[in-house]
């Protein structure tokens, strides 16, 4: 595609502007100019030589020549300005360089926010720099006080470079507050020794991972550090912070939110939520292309989730969820938790494929307040269950739970207070009717004359 007839004076002006800024006499072809602009770093070689206008007055060039030059200018000045060819020479002459050692936050074109400490604007991850911000080493008193607050919704990932570590930063309050589209942070070990982390990750609703190869925890002030981080899962035992978790959970190992990238125990399954109201739970990341997709997302198989907000059926579309199917590949996980998976899905009436599951540990609040009338656990091995706390609570329409005649809960290591709270329609296969006096997990057994329970052998 061409931009039409372009005056050669424009190209000469652009080339002269590059030569002036670089202090060189180099002759540039049109396709070389974008790279030359991108290479400018404020260094004046002291040999500037302007070139006169060419006798040829006009010509035709591909649009990409000027769009590339414009991109290079924006990469240098960090602006989002749209440049016409005739504006570009002046824009190049107006460039000023950010020099000197500073903590900089670089927004890259792939959505990464790279934080580093170099003499000049430099990306070590290789992305094209879109915008640059200076980070105050003394910290911020609020999220809006951050130099980079305006781009918080553009950040998809954060990378903290090793050059930050030796600075000994102590205050990272509000650093990533409301980065609502960010899914991971890498290089967190380079903030070891930080003391103040107030609201550091508040409202990071899509954040799944904070990677760190090590971390020295010296945090003394951490109010609401992880408030709203409903999808954040630690890489050792699937620990998930609560809205009130303090900085003490900012650690590797059991009960920590950090993940060592070289020792990540997490596995993931996917929830594909279709417009017909069905959600398919599967180990396969790709949704069914023949069905209209409403939402999709991944869920940590060992995640110890503490409430809603981590599934594709969120507060907006949850009422549309009417049926669920567990695919056959869900039996491939070595460990699987179903905590809060369908909590408060008040229109969920049909669940299939429970027999495809294996190695299930916790079912805390899994079906709480659903509209199911029947559940079929035939083929499901209950021997690994550890927690049935409020599993079926509030399922007032639930009448029947089927299971294999060999069904037997573990003899130890399992708990589940109020497993059957308010399941007032539930009746076991031998006629045992639900009672408010018998709501503990122990009644999740086959109903017989000698052992009353709420399951029906089938």
Q: pLDDT of 56-105, one tens digit each?
A: 766 678 889 999 999 999 988 888 899 999 999 999 999 988 888 999 99
Of the candidates 369, 380, 407, the residue with the CA atom closest to the CA atom of residue 326: 380
Of the candidates 263, 279, 247, the residue with the CA atom closest to the CA atom of residue 214: 263
User: With a cut of 50, which residues of the chain have pLDDT below it?
Assistant: 1-2
Q: Tokens representing 458?
A: 């089938």
Q: What is the pTM of this model?
A: 0.84
Handedness of CA 329, 313, 265, 441 (dihedral sign): negative
- What is the model's pLDDT at position 2? 47
- What is the model's pLDDT at position 155? 98
Bridge partners of 456, per DSSP, are 402
Query: Is residue 88 within a helix (H) or strand (E), and if so which, with residue range?
Result: helix 88-93
Residues 6+ positions from 419 with CB-CB distance below 8 Å: 388, 389, 390, 391, 392, 393, 439, 440, 441, 443, 444
- What is the model's pLDDT at position 3? 55
- What is the model's pLDDT at position 4? 61
- What is the model's pLDDT at position 54? 81
- Report helix, strand or coil for 211: strand
Cβ–Cβ < 8 Å for 227, 243: yes
Distances in Å between the Cα of 273 and the Cα atoms of 286, 291, 340 are 12, 10, 17
Q: How many helices (H) and strands (E) does the chain have?
A: 4, 17
Other C-beta atoms lying within 10 Å of the C-beta of residue 429: 19
DSSP label at 54? P
């Amino acid at each position: 595609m061409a931009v039409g007839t372009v005056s050669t004076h424009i190209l000469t002006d652009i080339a002269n502007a590059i030569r002036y800024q670089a202090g060189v006499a180099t002759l540039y072809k049109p396709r070389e100019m974008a790279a030359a602009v991108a290479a400018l770093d404020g260094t004046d070689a002291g040999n500037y030589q302007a070139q006169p206008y060419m006798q040829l007055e006009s010509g035709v060039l591909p649009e990409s020549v000027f769009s590339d030059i414009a991109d290079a200018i924006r990469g240098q000045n960090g602006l989002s300005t749209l440049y016409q060819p005739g504006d570009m020479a002046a824009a190049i002459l107006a460039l000023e360089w950010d020099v000197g050692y500073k903590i900089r936050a670089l927004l890259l074109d792939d959505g990464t926010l790279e934080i580093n400490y170099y003499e000049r604007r430099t990306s070590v991850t290789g992305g094209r720099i879109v915008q640059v911000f200076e980070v105050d080493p003394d910290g911020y008193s609020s999220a809006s006080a951050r130099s980079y607050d305006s781009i918080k919704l553009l950040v998809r990932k954060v990378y903290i470079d090793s050059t930050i570590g030796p600075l000994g930063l102590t205050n990272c309050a509000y650093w990533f507050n409301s980065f609502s589209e960010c899914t991971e942070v890498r290089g967190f070990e380079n903030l070891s020794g930080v003391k103040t982390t107030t609201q550091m990750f508040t409202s990071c609703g899509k954040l799944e991972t904070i990677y760190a190869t090590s971390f020295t925890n010296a945090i003394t002030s951490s109010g609401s550090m992880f408030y709203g981080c409903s999808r954040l899962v630690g890489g050792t035992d699937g620990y998930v912070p609560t809205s009130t978790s303090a900085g003490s959970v900012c650690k590797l190992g059991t009960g920590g939110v950090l993940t060592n990238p070289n020792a990540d125990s997490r596995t993931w399954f996917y929830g594909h939520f279709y417009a017909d109201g069905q959600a398919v739970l599967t180990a396969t990341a790709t949704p069914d292309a023949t069905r209209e997709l409403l939402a999709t997302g991944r869920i940590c198989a060992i995640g110890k989730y503490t409430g809603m907000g981590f599934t594709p059926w969120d507060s907006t579309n949850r009422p549309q969820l009417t049926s669920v199917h567990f695919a056959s590949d869900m039996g491939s996980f070595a460990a699987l938790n179903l905590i809060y998976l369908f909590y408060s899905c008040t229109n969920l009436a049909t669940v299939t494929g429970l027999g495809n599951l294996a190695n299930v540990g916790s079912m805390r609040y899994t079906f709480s307040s659903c509209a199911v009338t029947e559940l079929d656990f035939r083929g499901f091995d209950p021997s690994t269950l550890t927690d049935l706390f409020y599993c079926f609570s509030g399922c007032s329409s639930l009448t029947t739970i089927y299971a294999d005649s060999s069904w037997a809960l573990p003899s130890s290591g399992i708990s589940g207070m109020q497993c059957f709270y308010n399941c007032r329609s539930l009746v076991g296969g031998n006629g045992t009717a639900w009672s408010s006096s018998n709501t503990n997990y122990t009644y999740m057994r086959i109903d017989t004359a000698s052992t009353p329970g709420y399951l029906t052998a089938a």
